[in-house]
Each structure stands twice: as C-alpha cells, then as structure tokens.
Structure 1
Amino acid sequence: MNKFIRYVQGMMLLLTLAASGCTQAGENESSGGNMRGYNHVPGQTVNRFSVNGYGGTLTGNICCVMLPDKWRPGLIAHVEWEVDPQTAPVFPGYSDRTKFLAWKKQVEGSYQRHSADVEIPQYDKSGGLDVHFLPCNKVKVYAGIDGFGSPLYPIKEPMNMKEPASCPK
C-alpha cells in the first residue's frame, strides 16, 4: 500500500509540473511565454540572445520568458545578443587540427556582443516575446498576441534590411 501511495503522489507531482509548463502564473501575476527572434539584417548572424537572463536563439520558439500578465508603464526588456558578422576566413577543414583551432579562434574572436534596454510596448494580453534585431545594433520587442506581419503588429520594419555605411551615434 505504501508503494501505491508514493506512486500516486509521484504521478500527481508529474501531472502538476506538466500542466504548469511555461504558462503558470506566479504570485506576482507573471506568466511564462515563448520567445521568438527575428534577424532583419542579412549578412550577419545572431548566434544567441537573452532577455532578462532568459536565453534564446533564432531557431523558432524558445520556452520561456517571464512577463507580467498585465502591462504596466516602464516595463523594460534587457536584451543581450551575440552577432557573427561573417568576416571569417575560409574554413580549413578538420584534418589539420592546428589550422582548425586557429580558424576557430579567429572566427569566435570576430563575434560582437551587444546589449540594450528596450521598453516593452503596451499589450492587453501577453503572447510571449518577439525580439527583432535591426540594423545599427538596434532592437525592438513586442509582447502581445498579434503575429509578425499582421496589421495590428506594431513592428513594421521589413526583413532583409541593409546595414547603412555608418550608423548614427
């Protein structure tokens, strides 16, 4: 009988954890949601990014980022990201380990790290967080339920934007 009770308790714990997933509201009325990244600048790769310490990539939805259920003025997203400007020399292959390690060091040394504090625009209901990487190391975010490209989506910049010859300071 003792094994059966432990089994039932374990199953209840698993069901509770599974049901909570990324969307359980905490005591501060926040919920988790997926993060999505959009790179608007061809010719550079966003290797990875994080928002308020929650990590992401540009490979689709990443779970999870915590957001208040109700928007409030002054809501800020601290975004950190790493860019590969793709200025590396030709890949030497793996056969000569010394050449490969030198190439790898040069590639990783060209990565650029950036950060920005971005105000989160007003939303009625959180739909996760979209992070848009724009020319000149600018970033915009959106946390509502409208999808990128829909008429109500507030970020209107096109994909495939060109990096200008010089960026404003």
Structure 2
Amino acid sequence: MPYSHNSLATRLIAAALIASTLLMLNGCAELQRSSEVKRLGAPIEGYNHLSSSAINRFSVNGSGGSNVGSSSGGGQTCCVVLPVTWQPGLTVVVEWEEDPDPFAYGDWPEKAFTDAWRERMDEHETHYTQHRVEVEVAPYEALGVVNVHFLPCNEIKVSAGTTRFGLASHPYNYPLNMEEPDQCPASPKD
C-alpha cells in the first residue's frame, strides 16, 4: 500500500515533535545536573554535654550510631552526606536513645552477665528514652566533621565545618558537664 502525501507529512511532523521534545528534556536534565548541590560523605562525632545521662546510640539522617558517655565526646563514625558548602535552610534529622541513669548497674548486687543481672538490665532498659528532632546545621564554608551536641532538655546543636569542638572558631563550645534543670522550658513545638 503506497503512502499518501498527508500520511508522510503527518509522520514527519510527529517525528520532529518527538525529537524536539527529547532535546528539550535532555536540556532540562543538563540544567538540573549543573544546578545540583555537590555533596560528600562526612564523619559524624557526638558530644554529650550532660553529666547524668548517656547517649546509647545516635544517627544523623539515618547514618552514624556510636554511643557517647556522660560528659564526653569524640570518636567518629561514618558518614552522613551533606552539601560541600552550607546552604540556607540546611537541616538534618538527629535520632538518639538516652539512658537517664547510666551508672546504675555499678551498684547492682548481681554478678555481671548472670541471668539475674540480665533480668535487671532488661528492666533498666525500659527507662531508656527515644528521641527524634530536625535541627538546623550551623553555617560552614567547607564541609568537615559533623558534630552533634547533646544538651540539657533534649536540645541538639549540629555543626559541620572544618573547625573542631574546643576551638574559638567552633560555633558550639558548651561545657561537657552540664546539669539537667529541674524543669525544662516549653519548646515552641509543645
């Protein structure tokens, strides 16, 4: 069956439209790729500023997970992906488990790791608290170690620059032995 002139013209127009659409989509994809923020994995370090609680484990955007004893910090885990340079509105989700009485087992009469001791530990673990918060990341010029600071009243501060805790350039130099107040102020989310 021979092709008619109208059928051939319709097919050529359809092919041209498909080709131009594909070119436009490719151009949009290139534009999107060129405007994407460059990201890298950065090590995570925790600082527990509480003198009476321990952080059993924590994560940043689902990554990380080390424990941090009371009034201590350091020790890096790998890694959370963040922009190489800080972006306005940059936030992360920090999740953690807290032991409000990490020194209790030192006074238990049961011999460590016996059945009686494990039973007591199981009861002790029922007092652990789980937390989750989205928090802004302090501005930084270049991505470095991600520092998570655990403060009284479940307040969290996060920095991610090339400065280290204890240096004057670090945005959060709280003491490592802060006491939990008798009553925490109400958060705006309450």
Query: Is the structural similarity TM-score above 0.5?
Result: yes
The alpha carbon displacement at 1:50 in A equals 0.5
| 1:102 aligned onto 2:119 | yes
The alpha carbon displacement at 1:28 in A equals 5.0
Looking at structure 2, the residues matched to 149 and 165 of structure 1 have their Cα atoms a distance apart, in angstroms, of 27
| 1:164 aligned onto 2:181 | yes
Looking at structure 1, the residues matched to 184 and 125 of structure 2 have their Cα atoms a distance apart, in angstroms, of 24
Looking at structure 1, the residues matched to 114 and 174 of structure 2 have their Cα atoms a distance apart, in angstroms, of 44
Query: Partner residue of 2:147?
Result: 130
Checking the alignment, whether the CA contact within 8 Å between 1:37 and 1:56 is kept in structure 2 is no
The alpha carbon displacement at 1:96 in A equals 4.9
Query: Partner residue of 2:3?
Result: none
**What secondary structure sits across from 2:123 in the alignment?**
helix
Looking at structure 2, the residues matched to 61 and 96 of structure 1 have their Cα atoms a distance apart, in angstroms, of 32
The alpha carbon displacement at 1:101 in A equals 3.2
**What secondary structure sits across from 2:184 in the alignment?**
coil
| Pick aligned residue for 1:68 from 83, 105, 111 | 83
**What secondary structure sits across from 1:116 in the alignment?**
strand
Which structure features the higher share of helix residues? 2
Checking the alignment, whether the CA contact within 8 Å between 1:131 and 1:142 is kept in structure 2 is yes
Looking at structure 2, the residues matched to 38 and 149 of structure 1 have their Cα atoms a distance apart, in angstroms, of 11
Checking the alignment, whether the CA contact within 8 Å between 1:65 and 1:128 is kept in structure 2 is no
Q: CA RMSD in A?
A: 1.8
TM-score (norm 2): 0.69
TM-score (norm 1): 0.77
Q: What are the ranges of 5 or more consecutive residues in structure 2 without an aligned counterpart?
A: 1-35, 69-73
Count of aligned pairs between the two proteins: 142
Bigger Rg, structure 1 or 2: 2
| 1:93 aligned onto 2:111 | yes
| 1:40 aligned onto 2:49 | yes
The alpha carbon displacement at 1:100 in A equals 2.5
Query: Partner residue of 1:111?
Result: 128
Q: What are the ranges of 5 or more consecutive residues in structure 1 without an aligned counterpart?
A: 1-26
Quickly say closer, same or farther: Cα 1:103–1:29, change in 2 above 3 A: same
Query: Partner residue of 2:10?
Result: none
Looking at structure 2, the residues matched to 48 and 75 of structure 1 have their Cα atoms a distance apart, in angstroms, of 23
Looking at structure 2, the residues matched to 130 and 76 of structure 1 have their Cα atoms a distance apart, in angstroms, of 13
